[in-house]
Structure 1
């Protein structure tokens, strides 16, 4: 039998597969580009509730808008729906923070020379922000391109690399079209390359080291970023934790970091209906399955190490 707190959550009137998060971090939506999973992004924002929502950079892909002009008509409304949902959340439900990335760096002009935080339409716009968890842990939140040597020193190479990334997704679409016809499940070429190519893993490793060094030097308990499209929770016996919220440009990812009521942070994947728990800052909950409200309203057959409580 599930603990009482699960039942309390199930009785909430929102219905569907809704979860409530004390805080949530999503990044690299790349709205405006063909690779943005706009439908999945919208369903995540629609079916869940947030006390605080962090949009951690590259939410809008201005690089793509400059190259392609307007979005294709068939995709435009899906992307607009996401923007409208974010504005509605900021107005009626959540405290929304937008930290600027490299693909939406044009927004830095609104911060002025001092890069001070500004508010636009109930959304707090900044370069970085500090989040304090329910357990008192201090996390630095920023997109992460600040730790990417190529992006900082040779932006033209970064843009060239982005073209290569687009080509990878073009191949990925063709491969998965064939796989669907053969009755095979979705397969991510981008994820395969990152996990198998030695140079890619070295770049990711250097990025993590730079981010952790900065967090350590400034006295943070952890750092939360995006940018490299590689979702992760990495804890250390001594020193700050490294968390990366991944991206929403590949059905094989669609990740978010979410804070539970007890202050622990989980890395999840969204499949359109429910969250899939991948990793947690709470070792006892690593790999534990979190059921949806629909499943809770049925006869429960599973148990969990630690219940999700409302906040």
Structure 2
């Protein structure tokens, strides 16, 4: 089995316990992953969804088993709960099966750069959670995920690679892009005020590598719509990768160069470019 080597990996917004979770892709990634540190950056188990409806697939249990196995094998696993698994925040400072639970963390790259790691829901605007705007947003997101799930099912039957339909939709809706850009600015501003080199988060389901006036905004995306992770290589460079039938590198930030690329690039890039973009990242076991 081919393996994927890196120093650190960051994943979030898995939403185990929901039909939209792409657990099979994540399970494949985790089984091939060889790293020193793994950060679970929130919304790993969707406790809100499970409280409304009990739904669980065997692959979801396998993901949890693989995470516990990684911790058992010596990987430093840190779990930072998000808004959908917020009850886990009450266990901050404790360990479950070797996995340390924290409210946030500071990650120091091998190149010396320092990043705050948090789920990111603390950067939501104050009006989020009030009135009809929240319900309209949730309804739209559920509809997009439903469409994404149907398209994925059809493409699998046709033996076609995964297509992140929802990221294409978000990338072409002006208000969605405006919200994403404003969110990124708030996150980067906070990192700048803390004197850090950058911030690593998830929450908004839009993976991105972006330099904002010398501060790195790094969003690891999700495993509901886009199947992305953020990884740090052994030089300290941070890279956003997509993982499905055709893994692809979407954005990279080293000390020398920042190549910003939203996850939408996956859907728009030619097939050959996708294959070439991840060349050299995966090595034989």
> Which bin holds the TM-score, normalised by the shorter protein?
0.7 to 0.9
Question: In the aligned structure 1, how far is the partner of 2:217 from the partner of 2:123?
Answer: 13
Superposed, 1:36-185 pairs within 5 Å as 36-71=21-56, 75=57, 77-111=58-92, 117-149=93-125, 153-154=129-130, 158=134, 161-177=137-153
**SS at 1:139's partner residue?**
strand
Moved more, 77-86 or 154-163: 154-163
Question: In the aligned structure 1, how far is the partner of 2:102 from the partner of 2:132?
Answer: 24
1:110, CA displacement in angstroms?
2.1
In the alignment, what sits opposite 1:268?
241
RMSD (CA atoms): 2.5
In the alignment, what sits opposite 1:192?
168
1:155, CA displacement in angstroms?
8.9
Contact 1:275 1:290 in 2 (8 A): no
Equivalent pairs counted in the alignment come to 267
Q: 1:29 aligns with which of 14, 24, 28?
A: 14
Question: In the aligned structure 2, how far is the partner of 1:22 from the partner of 1:185?
Answer: 28
Question: In the aligned structure 2, how far is the partner of 1:180 from the partner of 1:188?
Answer: 13
In the alignment, what sits opposite 2:250?
278
Question: In the aligned structure 1, how far is the partner of 2:161 from the partner of 2:65?
Answer: 32
1:169, CA displacement in angstroms?
1.9
In structure 2, the CA distance between the partners of 1:79 and 1:268, relative to structure 1 (3 Å rule), is: same
Contact 2:18 2:55 in 1 (8 A): no
Contact 2:161 2:244 in 1 (8 A): no
Contact 2:36 2:76 in 1 (8 A): yes
1:119, CA displacement in angstroms?
2.1
In the alignment, what sits opposite 1:215?
191
In structure 2, the CA distance between the partners of 1:156 and 1:103, relative to structure 1 (3 Å rule), is: farther
1:239, CA displacement in angstroms?
3.1
Moved more, 102-111 or 46-55: 102-111
In the alignment, what sits opposite 1:244?
219
**SS at 1:19's partner residue?**
strand
In the alignment, what sits opposite 1:11?
none
Contact 2:82 2:121 in 1 (8 A): yes
After superposition, what is the alpha-carbon deviation per residue over 1:154-179, rounded to whole angstroms, capped at 9, x for unaligned? 39864663343222222233345556
**SS at 1:140's partner residue?**
strand
Which of the two has higher C-alpha Rg? 1
Question: In the aligned structure 2, how far is the partner of 1:221 from the partner of 1:285?
Answer: 13
Question: In the aligned structure 1, how far is the partner of 2:99 from the partner of 2:120?
Answer: 20
Question: In the aligned structure 2, how far is the partner of 1:188 from the partner of 1:180?
Answer: 13
Question: In the aligned structure 1, how far is the partner of 2:34 from the partner of 2:157?
Answer: 36
1:186, CA displacement in angstroms?
4.3
Question: In the aligned structure 2, how far is the partner of 1:60 from the partner of 1:269?
Answer: 21
**SS at 1:149's partner residue?**
coil
TM-score normalised according to structure 2 size = 0.85
**SS at 1:235's partner residue?**
strand
Question: In the aligned structure 2, how far is the partner of 1:119 from the partner of 1:39?
Answer: 26
Which 5+ residue runs of structure 2 have no aligned equivalent? 260-275
In the alignment, what sits opposite 2:279?
290
In the alignment, what sits opposite 2:201?
225
1:279, CA displacement in angstroms?
1.2
